């Protein structure tokens, strides 16, 4: 498929990028690794006048450990993170989620910032323009109906980042800079919960850094997919244990990940929590496997992830 026409600009600093954003009155898309953006452009799901390349912002390509935080620049590739010894030693859940993301070729291209801010996906949305014209435009494309659930009022597309789940379970925070200034927030706050516009970021904001508290943790990442070699998650669970508490994040179903904080890790407590995961998971038939199955697996993977992390602790 051929890319549409757009102007290409490369920014060298964050201020540069925001300047360009203002210059083109917001009709822009930011480009990092491009593994999510390029297919969207080719499918005409995004049609910016200008693409602003952020890869040249060198400040965002470093990993530093300081003052009890590990700070990761948004331009660091997934592969580089996987090679980082601190991440392997301190955050096993994050290492496992990086390992489970796509394949190594894509990990070398994709950046952590781009991975977190990837658009939500749906089997009736990520399609060519011709296909979508034939099927009729859905809510996320600006149409009036959902093609998966007839009559639905909101879009239920799936947020498919593996690493977001791991970072949420690690209580990470993110820093964003936009035309309106700079702000920091817990990573789970970047989600709007709406499939049609999944992120609660202001227009023009750039995710610049991710910060993880430097505490050794035990963790496990469980991902369900048809092909172990490459696929997006059909449902995934990240679990991070610190002493007797656990923070568990369930994703791959619906437009935002769900977070569960457990105090005490007795078997009853975990089974109870996994039941509520099952109840909370609002799966619809927008992937290749049936929604009932994915809903059920949310609970199964929840128990698995916690048990795997517990075993590691011993």
Partner 1 sequence: MKVACENARQQIVAIAAEKLGVPEADIALKDRLVYSMENPEKKMRLSWVVREAFARAQPIAATGTFFPHIDLKREWISRPWGQMAGTFSYATSVAEVAIDPETGEITVPHFTAAHDCGRAINPMAVEGQMEGSVQQAGMAAITEGNLWDGGHLLNPDLLDYKVPLACDMPEIDAIIVESIDPVGPFGAKEGGIAIRMNAYSAIACAVSQATGTLFKEFPLTPDKVLELVENGKEETR
End-to-end CA distance of the chain: 51
Q: Which is nearer to partner 1, 13 or 290 (CB)?
A: 290
For residue 123, state whether it binds partner 1 (rule: CB under 8 A): yes
Are the CB atoms for 199 and 190 separated by under 8 Å? yes
Residue 194, SS3?
coil
Decide: residue 239, CB within 10 A, 0-12 exposed, 13-18 middle, 19+ buried: buried
Per rule CB under 8 A, is residue 289 in the interface with partner 1? yes
Considering only the stretches 59-67, 74-82, 186-194, 285-293, report the one whose residues sit in contact with partner 1 under the rule CB under 8 A: 285-293
Among residues 224 and 256, whose Cβ is nearest to partner 1?
A: 224
> Does residue 250 belong to the site contacting partner 1 (CB under 8 A)?
no
- Kindly state the smallest distance separating residue 87's Cβ from partner 1, in Å: 23
29 or 42: CB nearest partner 1: 42
> Does 10 help bind partner 1 (rule: CB under 8 A)?
no
Closest of 246, 231, 242 to residue 288, by C-alpha: 231
Residue 111 CB: number of other CB atoms within 10 A?
27
**In the complex, what is the shortest distance from the CB of residue 123 to partner 1, in angstroms, rounded to a whole number?**
5
Cβ-based nearer residue to partner 1, 37 or 224: 224
Q: Please, which residue, 279 or 293, has the CB nearer to partner 1?
A: 293
Closest to partner 1 by CB, 197 or 304: 304
Continuous segment of H or E residues that includes residue 22: helix 14-23
Give the whole-angstrom CA distance, residue 209 versus residue 61.
10
Asked if 106 touches partner 1 (CB under 8 A), the answer is no
As a whole number of angstroms, the distance between CA 55 and CA 65 comes to 22
CB 125 within 8 A of CB 43: no
Task: Name the strand (E) or helix (H) holding 66.
Answer: strand 63-66
Is the four-CA dihedral 303, 309, 310, 311 of positive or negative sign? positive
- Can you tell me which of 293, 311, 312, 313 binds partner 1, judged by CB under 8 A? 293
Kind and range of the H or E run holding 104: helix 104-109
- 209 to 238: interface string for partner 1, x by CB under 8 A: ---------------x-xxxxxxx------
Residue 153 engages partner 1 in binding (rule: CB under 8 A): no
Which residue lies nearer to partner 1 by CB, 43 or 247? 43
Cα–Cα distance measured from residue 238 to residue 222, given in angstroms and rounded to the nearest whole number: 6
| 135: contact with partner 1 by CB under 8 A | yes
Enumerate binding residues for partner 1 (CB under 8 A).
Answer: 103, 123-124, 126-127, 131, 134-135, 147, 224, 226-232, 288-290, 292-293, 297, 300-301, 304
């Amino acid at each position: 498929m051929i890319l549409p026409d757009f102007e290409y600009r490369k920014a060298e600093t964050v201020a540069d990028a925001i300047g360009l954003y203002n210059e083109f009155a917001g009709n822009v898309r930011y480009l990092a690794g491009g593994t999510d953006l390029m297919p969207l452009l080719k499918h005409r799901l995004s049609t910016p006048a200008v693409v602003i390349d952020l890869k040249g912002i060198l400040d965002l390509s470093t990993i530093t450990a300081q003052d009890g935080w590990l700070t990761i620049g948004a331009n660091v590739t997934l592969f580089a993170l996987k090679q980082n010894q601190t991440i392997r030693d301190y955050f096993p859940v994050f290492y496992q989620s990086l390992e489970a993301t796509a394949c190594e070729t894509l990990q070398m291209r994709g950046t952590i910032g781009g991975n977190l801010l990837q658009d939500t996906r749906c089997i009736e949305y990520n399609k060519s323009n011709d296909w979508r014209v034939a099927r009729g435009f859905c809510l996320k494309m600006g149409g009036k109906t959902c093609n998966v659930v007839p009559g639905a009022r909101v879009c239920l597309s799936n947020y498919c980042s593996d690493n977001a789940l791991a970072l949420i379970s690690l209580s990470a925070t993110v820093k964003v800079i936009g035309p309106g200034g700079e702000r920091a927030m817990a990573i789970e706050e970047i989600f709007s919960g709406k499939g049609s516009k999944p992120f609660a970021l202001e227009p023009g904001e750039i995710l610049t850094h991710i910060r993880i508290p430097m505490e050794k943790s035990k963790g496990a990442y469980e991902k369900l997919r048809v092909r172990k070699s490459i696929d997006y998650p059909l449902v995934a669970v990240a679990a991070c244990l610190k002493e007797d508490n656990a923070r568990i994040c369930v994703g791959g179903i619906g437009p935002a990940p769900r977070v569960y904080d457990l105090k005490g890790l007795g078997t009853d407590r975990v089974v109870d929590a996994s039941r509520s995961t099952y109840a909370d998971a609002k799966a619809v038939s927008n992937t290749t496997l049936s929604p009932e199955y994915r809903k059920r697996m949310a609970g199964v993977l929840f128990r698995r992830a916690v048990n795997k992390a517990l075993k590691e602790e011993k």
